[in-house]
Structure 1
């Protein structure tokens, strides 16, 4: 289950209902899929073949299509990141830049852990720590970035409205302090 840490106060929010209520107040979509649907062989596999990725999409096809129908997503894919990912450090540097998009950014975590750092106008930056089953959508034009947690392993389904995927618009935000 996702957890939230508000950076300015170090307050933590835990529990599905509390996390959902907080994220709803920030206009961030949060849902939970059944992580146990993923075949055992894929749960800790972070070096996926195209066939593995297709199996993940097929496993969550109903959830993906439901979310796509409700939110207007046109395409989706699977991303896998770990220390064996080529150029992982360069990718993380790119991901760890505060930015916005002209469409929402969504991740459905199927294995591993990740974290969205999101800016709230009222609260400043807060961390949303995600684990398998967590689905989050950061609204368009919201300062944020996504990165790996200490385990440095994640597999996630990404959904897009634009067929070319997201275009990041980097933001130099003096309010952001890397934790």
Structure 2
């Protein structure tokens, strides 16, 4: 289940209802899917074949299509990152820069853990959303954020897009942002 840490105060928010209520106020969509429906052999696997990626998409097809129909997403894929990923550290450096997009950035975590760092309202500032299998988040277009791995450095997630070519990151310079 997702947990939030507000960086200014170090306050933690947990529990599905509390997380959802906080993120709703920040205009960030949060849902939870049943990650246990993923076949056991894929629940802890972070280096995937194309066939295994297709199997994950088929497993969550109903949830993906429901979310896509509600939010206008046109295409989706799987991203899998772990220490087995070539050039992982270079990829993470690219990810770990505050940026925006001209469409939502969506992640449905099917295995592992990840974290979104998001710029909230002025009274909140930046906050971390720690995600695990079953958590679904959509950061709205133009909202400053970035996504990275947690200490286990393993994640598999469904990404959904409005534009069929995917999104492009636009750097967001913010002198108030402090890395944790």
Which TM-score bucket, shorter chain as reference? over 0.9
1:8-157 residue pairs with structure 2 within 5 A? 8-122=8-122, 123-157=124-158
2:64 aligned counterpart, secondary structure = helix
**What residue ranges of structure 1 are gaps of 5+ in the alignment?**
none
C-alpha distance in 2, partners of 1:109/1:42?
13
Aligned partner of 2:170 in structure 1 is 169
1:160 aligns with 2:161: yes
2:111 aligned counterpart, secondary structure = strand
**What residue ranges of structure 2 are gaps of 5+ in the alignment?**
none
Instruction: Please state how far the C-alpha of 1:171 moved relative to its aligned partner.
Output: 1.2
Write the deviation string for residues 135-176 of structure 1: whole angstroms up to 9, x where unpaired.
000010000000000000000000000011010001121111
C-alpha distance in 1, partners of 2:141/2:79?
20
C-alpha distance in 2, partners of 1:102/1:23?
20
Instruction: Please state how far the C-alpha of 1:121 moved relative to its aligned partner.
Output: 2.6
C-alpha distance in 1, partners of 2:99/2:93?
12
* Normalised TM-score (structure 2): 0.99
Aligned partner of 1:178 in structure 2 is 179
Write the deviation string for residues 100-155 of structure 1: whole angstroms up to 9, x where unpaired.
00001000000000000000132110000000000000010000000000000000
Q: Is the 8 A contact 2:108 2:134 kept in 1?
A: yes
Give every structure 1 segment of 4 or more consecutive aligned residues whose post-TM-superposition deviation is greater than 2 Å.
Answer: none
Q: Over aligned residue pairs, what C-alpha RMSD do you find?
A: 0.5
2:164 aligned counterpart, secondary structure = coil
Instruction: Please state how far the C-alpha of 1:17 moved relative to its aligned partner.
Output: 0.4
* Normalised TM-score (structure 1): 0.99
